[in-house]
Amino acid sequence: MPATGHVGRYAPSPTGDLHLGNLRTALAAWLAARSSLGSLLLRMDDLDPDRVRPESAAAQMKDLRALGIDWDGAPIWQGTRFARYDAALRRLAELGRTYPCFCSRAEVRAAASAPHGPGEEGAYPGTCARLAPAEGDRRVAAGEPHCIRVRANGATRSFVDQSLGSVSAIVDDFVVRRRDGVPAYNLATVVDDAEMGVTEVVRGADLASTTPRQLWLADTLDLPAPSFLHVSLVLGADGSRLAKRHGAVTLADLAAAGLGAVDVRDLLARSLGVEAADGAPPAALVAAFDRAAIPHADLRYEAIGDTVRLTPIS
Ligand SMILES: [Zn+2]
């Protein structure tokens, strides 16, 4: 069992309504933090100006509160923290661990034929790592569009996940600053988790493939890294990641279908292996929570009549 007093965090992107899978992960993060007598931070990943919808953050917080999920302190907005991420980028550059990449998305896709895992931009084959530094500098100075990548030199990182067990992956030269100047998810996450003293990250298993990259970054920047618990995903009936088109998947949709917030909390808590009576208050769920009892299987969302089921996929 982990030590008591974890600092956890839930870090949604305010790009739309939270669906059952997001809410389940949030509940897991909250239960893990509270059951350790620790704290939970709410961090809004509002870095992507193309996708963020300002009204989404308020709606997400309202939904979390409706489920009894609370957090400590004010929400943290990554969009206000660019100076921190820029400082980390400068540090990486000083260490000789970055280079500019001029490849287009299509070029990266074409070159990255070997699927090393579903990373956010696919494994990068290192094309621009081989450019002479003077050539890179010249093209940057000429104003050629580019992102910034890490120079990982094919490093491997392993970690022991509390749910997935041992995970090991080659770290590719992933993006730390996008072509549009926005700090990349992996960089912002590592900087923030370290600076905010996060000791345990509970998040969806779809992000497990980013963890070796984040551990490499933390090592390289000499920052502490948290422990990880990746929880399984909720999938639609067609086996793809849950989305609006699968039916009543948001709290508002579910309420319209006759399933109130407490019913949804019961459903999600049961799916996390929490044995408690229907309508149990949040404190009772915390008391009954055992992270070792979280089922490992992904769940299939099924709406049958006016009930919703989350069925383990064997
Ligand atoms: Zn490139």
pLDDT (tens digit per residue) in 109-144:
776 654 444 344 567 888 999 999 999 999 999 999
What is this structure's pTM?
A: 0.93
Token pair in block for residue 148: 């910034």
Name the H helices within the chain: 20-35, 54-66, 82-94, 105-111, 133-141, 185-195, 211-220, 251-256, 261-271, 282-288
Token pair in block for residue 172: 């590719």
Asked if residue 226 lies in contact with residue 232, where contact means CB atoms within 8 angstroms, the answer is no
Q: What residue segments make up the domains of the chain, in order of their start?
A: 7-72+232-247+254-312, 82-188
- Residue 278: pLDDT over 80: yes
Ligand 1 centre from 124 Cα, in Å? 8
Ligand 1 centre from 48 Cα, in Å? 21
pLDDT tens-digit series, residues 8-48: 999 999 999 999 999 999 999 999 999 999 999 999 999 99
| Rg of the chain (C-alpha set) | 20
Q: Burial level of 227, CB count in 10 A (0-12/13-18/19+)?
A: middle
Ligand 1 centre from 180 Cα, in Å? 15
Q: What is the DSSP letter of 72?
A: S
Ligand 1 centre from 111 Cα, in Å? 10
Ligand 1 centre from 126 Cα, in Å? 7
Give the separation between CA 290 and CA 128, rounded to whole angstroms: 47
Ligand 1 centre from 149 Cα, in Å? 8
| DSSP 3-state percent helix, strand, coil across the chain (nearest 5) | 40, 20, 40
**CATH number among 3.30.1380.10, 3.90.800.10, 3.40.50.970, 2.60.120.10, domain 82-188:** 3.90.800.10
Ligand 1 centre from 102 Cα, in Å? 5
Domain 7-72+232-247+254-312 has what CATH class?
alpha beta
Ligand 1 centre from 97 Cα, in Å? 15
pLDDT of residue 119: 41
Ligand 1 centre from 118 Cα, in Å? 19
What element of type H or E holds 231? strand 227-231
Ligand 1 centre from 43 Cα, in Å? 31
